[in-house]
């Protein structure tokens, strides 16, 4: 038996896993999480989507366990995937996401004693539970053999009393050598096969993540078989759109394309808005996605012999954005952006509202003469410029004076970096904006040790409080147990806690649910850092949320 869950309630419906990333992670950490999720999406039919209103979802956070996660879908609300200190590595995050998807550790399979020896005397005290075999009722093999190469397998010295003491070893050689165990590089062939079986992925089709690509029906141009079901999922960078062109179409024609057909849906799954259902021999017009994903589904029900179909797609960056909130990313984010790109976005919100930008991550060429992002306070590049941004320092939040904003990203053909990720939202006119600092000598000296400060910020009735941190540098610790900033959603510390923050990455934009918010700052008597600078505003929002999307 393979170490996949046997409980159907733990499998995520339609393979869709909503997620939230806690605000105490840096932009580079978030990029790693995104890369790990895309790795699973590339090789399976699982889809990770930022949570909107879903009841069950995962939360990337930090727990005392360090690296840990519930196996499969718990249901009934949020569940944690803990990425603690030294866990923020690509392979480790892929491993933890394996638990989320429904995998136990490979070496806990009921048949593991046929494949590995466990040396209990070498296991660290208190870690023995990590080596307990699962019960047969909890694990289903689905016909897959034991996989030494699985990313869900421990290494030979995991939780060892000493670095040279083995906690487990393979019992036998494979191809004349004892197989290595515990790789954290990529999904194994067995991992991929098992996940595709667990989520009943179609046998044909694939996940396409490149900026350009092509695909065709099985057997094209020599005809397709009967009773085929194929799904292609195209996923490009958020902020980009997809242009899909069919280059050949020769399917059995029927009324309303009831039998053989190819369907295009404007999103990430089978219930996304239908762009069109096609059959016969006429080429459809070009299809443009609304967002960064398309779903293409092909079904055949006859033995009619036709060529089938072929299609090409291309990701295009930029365009007009008319939404109250969303995100824009540089092409290919979180991987390096592509050379020789010019992308332009025009963000428009209703009259009376303003456009707000909050940068989550920023990394471009150090010289703004080369790769850069330009932001303008208006609908085009002739408006007043907010500036030209490059380098690795995140720009401060930007708010337009009117109801539009224009962004232009440029890259040359030399050095490429990770790029940027920015959130945009709409807001009503703000009033009473002021600044608050962690200590009186902010900017000249670090904050003093052994400090306890508390601020209560109150707004007029009917208004909320918005916080935007412009500088944030607090002593870092996994649980923020030394120095920290703590926020409470009310007029005192008995109110619901919004979060505790430390480290070098400022929290996201914070909103109160009511008309008051408490900022509490604590420092111990050891390490002192620069401190924080926060701008607070009394604002009446269309929707009041604790943190921005």
pLDDT tens for residues 474-515? Answer: 998 888 889 999 999 888 888 888 889 998 866 677 888 788
- What's residue 1's pLDDT? 37
Among 41, 50, 96, 206, which one carries the catalytic annotation? 96
Q: Are residues 324 and 424 both part of a single domain?
A: yes
What is the model's pLDDT at position 499?
A: 87
DSSP, res 443: T
Question: Which structural domain range is residue 456 located in?
Answer: 431-539
509 and 445 both lie in a single domain? yes
In the listed set 386, 411, 428, which residue is the last one of a domain according to the structure?
428
Q: Within this chain, do residues 307 and 335 fall inside the same structural domain, yes or no?
A: no
If asked whether residues 465 and 378 sit together in one domain, one would say: no
- Is there a single domain that holds both residue 333 and residue 298? no
Cβ atoms within 10 Å, residue 362: 21
- Three-state DSSP state, 191: helix
Q: What is the DSSP string of 386-405?
A: EEEE-SSSPPPPEE-SSSEE
Is residue 365 assigned to a domain? yes
| Residue where a domain terminates, one of 297, 316, 335 | 316
**Residue 331 burial class via C-beta count within 10 angstroms: exposed 0-12, middle 13-18, buried 19 and up:** buried
Domain co-membership, 343 together with 380: yes
DSSP letter string, 449-512:
SSEEEEEEEE--TT-EEEEEEEEEEB---TT--SSEEEEESSSSTTSPEEEEE-BSSPP--EE-
Kindly state whether residues 54 and 126 are assigned to the same domain. yes
Q: Is 508 tagged catalytic?
A: no
200, 221, 255: which is the final residue of a domain? 200
C-alpha R_g of the chain: 26
Q: 237 with 225, same domain?
A: yes
Tokens of 520: 């509490």
Residue 544 belongs to a domain: no
From the list 305, 316, 379, 377, the residue with the least C-alpha distance to 342 is 316
* Tokens (6 digits) for 239: 């902020």
Q: What is the pLDDT of residue 540?
A: 60
Residue 546 domain-assigned (yes or no): no
Does 263 lie in the same domain as 185?
no
Q: For residue 177, is it within any domain?
A: yes
Q: Note the pLDDT of residue 340.
A: 84
The enclosing domain of 366 has a CATH number of: 2.60.120.290
Largest CA distance in the chain: 80
CA–CA separation, 410 vs 413, rounded Å?
10
The three-state secondary structure class of 362 is: strand
The candidate with the shortest Cα–Cα distance to 539, out of 453, 477, 457, 482, is 457
Residue 549 domain-assigned? Answer: no
Residue 548 lies in a domain: no
Residue 262 in domain? yes
- Domain assignment present for residue 547? The answer is no
Q: Assess whether 114 and 34 both reside in one domain.
A: yes
Residues 6+ apart with CB under 8 A from 119: 165, 166, 167, 168, 169
Cα 263 to the center of its chain, rounded Å = 27
Q: What is the reported pLDDT for 370?
A: 82
What is the DSSP-derived secondary structure letter of residue 177? Answer: B
Per-residue pLDDT of the chain (549 residues; tens, 9 = 90+): 347 888 999 999 999 999 999 877 887 898 899 999 999 999 999 999 999 889 999 999 998 888 999 999 999 899 999 999 899 999 999 999 999 999 999 999 999 999 999 999 999 999 999 999 999 889 987 889 999 999 999 999 999 999 899 999 999 999 899 999 999 999 999 999 999 999 999 999 999 999 899 999 999 999 999 999 999 999 998 878 999 999 999 999 999 999 999 999 999 999 999 999 999 999 999 999 998 999 999 999 977 778 999 999 999 988 888 877 788 888 888 778 878 889 999 999 888 788 888 887 888 777 788 889 999 999 999 999 999 998 888 888 888 888 999 999 998 877 778 888 888 877 644 446 788 888 877 777 899 888 888 888 887 766 788 888 888 999 988 888 899 999 998 888 888 888 899 988 666 778 887 888 999 999 988 888 999 999 888 776 433 333 333
Cα separation, 100 vs 60, whole angstroms: 11
In the chain, the number of structural domains is 4
Cβ–Cβ under 8 Å, residues 146 and 2: yes
pLDDT at residue 497, as a whole number: 87
* Statement to judge: residues 133 and 217 lie in one domain: no
Residues 41 and 181 in one domain: yes
Q: What is residue 505's predicted lDDT score, i.e. its pLDDT?
A: 66
């Amino acid at each position: 038996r393979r170490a996949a869950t046997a409980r159907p309630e733990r499998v995520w419906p339609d393979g869709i896993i909503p997620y939230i990333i806690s605000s105490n992670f840096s932009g580079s950490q978030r990029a790693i999480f995104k890369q790990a999720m895309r790795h699973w999406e590339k090789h399976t039919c699982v889809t990770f989507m930022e949570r909107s209103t879903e009841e069950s979802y995962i939360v990337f956070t930090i727990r005392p366990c360090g690296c840990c996660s519930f196996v499969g879908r718990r249901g009934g609300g949020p569940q944690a995937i803990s990425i603690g200190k030294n866990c923020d590595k690509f392979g480790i995050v892929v491993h933890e996401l394996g638990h989320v998807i429904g995998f136990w550790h490979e070496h806990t399979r009921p048949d593991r004693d046929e494949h590995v020896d466990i040396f209990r005397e070498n296991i660290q005290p208190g870690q023995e539970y990590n080596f307990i075999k699962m019960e047969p009722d909890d694990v289903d093999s689905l016909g897959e053999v034991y996989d030494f190469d699985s990313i869900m397998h421990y290494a030979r010295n995991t939780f060892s009393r000493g670095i040279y003491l083995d906690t487990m070893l393979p019992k036998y050689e494979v191809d004349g050598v004892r197989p290595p165990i515990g790789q954290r590089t990529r999904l194994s062939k067995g991992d991929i096969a098992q996940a595709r079986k667990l989520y009943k992925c179609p046998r044909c089709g694939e996940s396409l993540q490149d900026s350009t690509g092509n695909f065709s029906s099985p057997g094209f141009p020599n005809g397709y078989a009967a009773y085929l079901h194929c799904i292609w999922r195209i996923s490009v960078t958020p902020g980009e759109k997809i242009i899909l062109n069919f280059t050949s179409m020769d399917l059995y024609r029927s009324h309303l394309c009831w039998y053989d057909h190819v369907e295009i849906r404007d999103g990430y799954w089978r219930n996304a808005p239908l762009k069109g259902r096609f059959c016969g021999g006429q080429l459809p017009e070009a299809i443009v996605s609304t967002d960064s994903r398309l779903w293409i589904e092909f079904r055949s029900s006859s033995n009619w012999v036709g060529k089938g179909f072929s299609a090409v797609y291309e990701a295009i960056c930029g365009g007009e954005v008319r939404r109250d909130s969303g995100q824009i990313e540089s092409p290919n984010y979180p991987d390096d952006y592509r050379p020789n790109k010019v992308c332009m976005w025009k963000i428009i919100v209703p009259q009376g509202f303003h456009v707000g930008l909050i940068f989550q991550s920023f990394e471009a060429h150090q010289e703004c003469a080369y790769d850069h992002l330009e932001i303008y306070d208006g609908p085009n590049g002739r408006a007043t410029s907010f500036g030209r941004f490059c380098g690795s320092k995140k720009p401060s939040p930007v708010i337009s004076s009117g109801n539009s904003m224009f962004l232009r990203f440029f890259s040359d053909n030399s050095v490429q970096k990770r790029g940027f990720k920015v959130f945009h939202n709409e807001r009503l006119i703000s009033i009473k904006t002021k600044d608050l600092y962690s200590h009186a000598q902010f900017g000249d000296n670090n904050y003093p040790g052994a400090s306890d400060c508390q601020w209560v910020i109150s707004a007029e009735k009917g208004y909320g409080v918005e916080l935007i941190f412009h500088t944030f540098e607090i002593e870092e610790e996994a649980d923020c147990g030394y120095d920290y900033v703590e926020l409470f959603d009310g007029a005192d510390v008995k109110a619901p806690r919004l979060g505790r923050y430390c480290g070098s990455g400022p929290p996201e934009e914070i909103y109160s649910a009511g008309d008051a918010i408490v900022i509490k700052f604590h420092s111990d008597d050891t390490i002192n850092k620069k401190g924080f600078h926060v701008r607070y505003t009394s604002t009446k929002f269309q929707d009041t949320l604790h943190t921005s999307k």
